[in-house]
Structure 1
Amino acid sequence: MRSARPGVSSVSARWGHRARSRGARGLIAVLALTLLAGATACGTDTGATATQQSGPATAVLANLDPVPIGPEPTPSLPTTVRSFDGTDVTVSSADRIIAVDRSGSLAQVVWALGLGPKLVGRSNSASFPSVLQVPNVAGGNGSLNVESVLALRPTVFLTDTTTATPAIREQLRAAGVTVVYFDPKRTMDGVVPQIEAVAAALGVPAAGQALADRTRDEVSAASAAVPAQDPPLTMAMLYLRSTAITMMAGPGSGGDALIAALHGRDASAVAGLTEPFTAITSEAMIGAAPDVLIVMTDGLKSVGGVDGLEKVPGIAQTPAGRNKRVIDMSDAVLLSFGPNTGRVIQALNEAVYGTKPA
């Protein structure tokens, strides 16, 4: 539709030779205004015009499992590391590892370091295929079950300062569990440092450096392949659990970091959101006017797919709703911010823009 203006000029030129005798200049003006109005109307939904992409799509990773950097390494232990809670922790054994956080990234790092066989406990957010048989020590709401942790006799417990509340931290300390805490924030800049920190705590710094280098290269390559958009697409990441729970990811959720990596404009910023996840009203959704909606696959299923999502108040009135521009991605990887991050960006790039990897 952006070629409408040149089209008007060429039509005017063809008709101009006959205009003197038949008063066609008036017709030319009407035609020009009509085509110009059409061009303006087509430009209202940037989700349809910016890339000529429309309709739903799934961002697919061929393998949801993190790829191990090599064979299982032999940890060099004991080692003492600085935990994110400010304490020094000595890890003497990595024979029985529990890794629990709200994004599942810690378990992904353990697996990618080649220490998957040592993983004896996880959270429900760590749901990639290879760990589904590993016991889950977090409840349905993601809260830690200390009794389940103790029953697995971990030699080291990896978690973060958000997942483990102060009360749970005290219970773990009193039980004598070796716990290393990590930064709960999920950002692009934090992906590589977290890999290095986990590797240091488990006594495998060489494997950690190799995994960090590979992940950094993959993220850089995937980010460089994202096409620039002018204007940028406005994107919203939604958390869905049936039509009763519709939340928009905001600052600090990880969704904002992925949208930035995709060169998008974050709809949560347009809506003025300040929390990581906020229940959003139909008025705020319409006002944010996202061109693209990014959702987790299970969340989309919970509302009845794309057709069901359009029944959520406000969705149908957005450019994304009108164009059915909905991108879904597996819950196991979308907000993991671990070793899969480069592949996540690449898959989202292809789903949003139709960009194929080189």
Structure 2
Amino acid sequence: MLERLARLALLPLLLALTGPAGAVDIRDDLGHTTRLASPPQRIVSLLPSLTETVCELGACARLVGVDRYSNYPAQADALPKVGGLDDTHVEMIAALRPDVVLVATASRVTDRLRALGLPVIALEPRSYRDVQRVLDVMGQVLGVPDAQRVWRRIEAGVAAAASSVPPQARGLRVYYEVANGIWAAGPTSFMGETLTRLGAANIIPAELGPFPKINPEFVVRANPALIMVGARGAEGLAQRPGWDRIDAVQRGRLCVFRPEDGDILARPGPRMAEAAQIMARCLRDKGAR
């Protein structure tokens, strides 16, 4: 009897230490830990790659709001839009009564959302390893087992894309411009890692970081044999000072990506295998000449 009473007396302490059944502690990319008593049923996502990850893990129906750039899949695109990185509508998010808000590490509203008592998890994959890690974290958040099945499919798709690149296109010196300004995809970014897996040689040195801002003269001196760029960036590209001397420009080895392809290429998440196929097609069509 005394032993039973002692166990009952210790029960509140044990619950305080372990939390309620099913509770998980999520440590995000800002080092903040959020306790979720149960898998969230009302989710707001403010980063397209996280939106796509939620849906790929079978939890799209739990989304109640997304940022304006989350346009895939169609189910997510139809949800209320709560702004972008610079104009997030905090009051609108609060009105949606989310169980958790998923944000980028650079989000400017994280502290405001937490001040309102909303659980916030900041995640921002920048590399292949990050994507694999974030899948694990999102699996814990959503209560979905074997989230790594998505990663295995990504890896298989990237490997298939790599095998489709002909030998004559391998080793090609490539410049990938991700944004006007000009911002490039470095070898340590997820885009750069895809290029490497496809056998391309990135002209950007790894020490410059994942997405460095590049002096246009650097690209002229590097003289890439192939340029990958979005439709907006392609406007006037050949008229940049000295760029008419670049081998890729002279030989017409430019892959200009459509906006819809640009979305796939720019999101480190479930569609990375599709992104690899788009890049591989570019290498086959332009690099094998």
* TM norm. shorter chain > 0.5: yes
Does the alignment pair 1:94 with 2:40? yes
Q: After the TM superposition, which residues 124-203 of structure 1 pair with which residues of structure 2 at under 5 Å, given as runs?
A: 124-128=68-72, 130=74, 131-139=76-84, 144-161=88-105, 163-165=106-108, 168-182=109-123, 184-203=124-143
Partner SS state of residue 205, structure 2: helix
Does the alignment pair 1:327 with 2:274? no
Say if 2:53 and 2:269, in contact at 8 Å, map to a contact too.
yes
Structure 2 unaligned runs (5+)? 1-20
Q: Distance in 1 between matches of 2:117 and 2:23?
A: 17
1:345 counterpart (260, 267, 276): 276
Matched letter for residue 309 of structure 1:
L
Say if 1:79 and 1:203, in contact at 8 Å, map to a contact too.
no
> Hey, what does 2:230 align to over in structure 1?
296
Q: Deviations over 1:269-320 (max 9, x none)?
A: 29x7446231532x222112111111234x34xx54xxx3322333322111
The alignment's TM-score, normalised by the length of structure 1, stands at 0.64
Q: Distance in 2 between matches of 1:135 and 1:220?
A: 36
> Hey, what does 2:238 align to over in structure 1?
310
Matched letter for residue 288 of structure 1:
A
1:217 counterpart (138, 142, 156): 156
Matched letter for residue 89 of structure 1:
T
Matched letter for residue 79 of structure 1:
V
Residues 190 and 226 (structure 1), Cα distance of their counterparts in 2 relative to 1, 3 Å cut: farther
Higher Rg:
1
Partner SS state of residue 157, structure 1: strand
Matched letter for residue 162 of structure 2:
S
> Hey, what does 1:280 align to over in structure 2?
215
Q: Distance in 1 between matches of 2:164 and 2:274?
A: 12
Residues 315 and 94 (structure 1), Cα distance of their counterparts in 2 relative to 1, 3 Å cut: farther
Q: Distance in 2 between matches of 1:124 and 1:352?
A: 32
Q: Distance in 2 between matches of 1:276 and 1:338?
A: 17
Q: Taking every aligned residue pair, what percent have the same amino acid on both sides? A: 25
Q: Deviations over 1:225-244 (max 9, x none)?
A: 44455871111111345xxx
> Hey, what does 2:12 align to over in structure 1?
none
> Hey, what does 2:196 align to over in structure 1?
260
> Hey, what does 2:174 align to over in structure 1?
235
Q: Distance in 2 between matches of 1:147 and 1:315?
A: 47
Residues 80 and 151 (structure 1), Cα distance of their counterparts in 2 relative to 1, 3 Å cut: same
Q: Distance in 1 between matches of 2:82 and 2:241?
A: 36
- After superposition, the CA RMSD in angstroms is 2.9
Q: Distance in 2 between matches of 1:142 and 1:253?
A: 23
Residues 315 and 97 (structure 1), Cα distance of their counterparts in 2 relative to 1, 3 Å cut: farther
Say if 1:285 and 1:314, in contact at 8 Å, map to a contact too.
no
Q: Distance in 1 between matches of 2:46 and 2:131?
A: 16
Residues 264 and 213 (structure 1), Cα distance of their counterparts in 2 relative to 1, 3 Å cut: closer
Partner SS state of residue 310, structure 1: helix
Partner SS state of residue 337, structure 1: coil
Q: Distance in 2 between matches of 1:79 and 1:240?
A: 38
Residues 293 and 126 (structure 1), Cα distance of their counterparts in 2 relative to 1, 3 Å cut: farther
Say if 1:192 and 1:216, in contact at 8 Å, map to a contact too.
no
Matched letter for residue 256 of structure 2:
D
Q: After the TM superposition, which residues 28-43 of structure 1 pair with which residues of structure 2 at under 5 Å, given as runs?
A: none
Superposition deviation, residue 267 in structure 1: 1.8
Superposition deviation, residue 321 in structure 1: 0.9
The alignment's TM-score, normalised by the length of structure 2, stands at 0.77
Structure 1 unaligned runs (5+)? 1-75
Partner SS state of residue 30, structure 2: coil
Matched letter for residue 138 of structure 2:
V
Superposition deviation, residue 123 in structure 1: 2.9
Superposition deviation, residue 150 in structure 1: 2.1
Say if 1:89 and 1:178, in contact at 8 Å, map to a contact too.
yes
Partner SS state of residue 213, structure 2: strand
Residues 109 and 231 (structure 1), Cα distance of their counterparts in 2 relative to 1, 3 Å cut: closer
Q: Distance in 1 between matches of 2:69 and 2:214?
A: 21
Matched letter for residue 233 of structure 1:
L
Superposition deviation, residue 111 in structure 1: 1.3
1:114 counterpart (23, 35, 58): 58
